[in-house]
Amino acid sequence: MTGPVCKLDHCVLHVSDIAAANRFYSEVFGAQLIEREGGRWAYRFGGEQINVHEGTGGGAGPFARVPIVPGNGDLCFGWSGPIEDAIEHLRRHDTEVELGPIERFGARGHGISIYFRDPDGSLLEFISYSV
């Protein structure tokens, strides 16, 4: 028996400073910044999106059972080229690699990853499936 085919549409990230987060995600990730009603923002990457909440609230609800605080994110993004290019890209944006390159298993199988943090300390990962 097979179920419905699902694809991630969006997730939510909590930040402490919208301006700093907007700058980081647009410059480091190339996110399209989407200004929403009520001073809220979203970051779009093609067909995927991160909705951004400042502090522990935001939006119309419902919310996580345990309030999410800025810095609690843990997200992985695919990098389209060799992981060495991702390392150089982060260096150009004064972003320190915390771990890696290291082999990891992602949505497309085995890849090479590096880990780094956003301005709030959320753990971010670039994974490359390029050999």
Global confidence as pTM: 0.91
Domains of the chain: 10-56+69-128 (3.10.180.10)
Of the candidates 37, 48, 98, 125, the residue annotated as catalytic is 125
Identify the band that residue 131 occupies on the pLDDT scale cut at 50, 70 and 90.
low
Q: Using alpha carbons, list the distances in angstroms from residue 21 to 4, 50, 56, 102.
A: 34, 12, 15, 26
Please indicate whether residue 125 is annotated as part of the active site.
Answer: yes
Average pLDDT over residues 18-38: 96
Token pair listed for 7: 């694809």
Classify each residue of 50-62 as buried b or exposed e, where b means 16 or more C-beta atoms within 10 Å of its C-beta: bbbbbeeebeeee
Identify the band that residue 38 occupies on the pLDDT scale cut at 50, 70 and 90.
confident
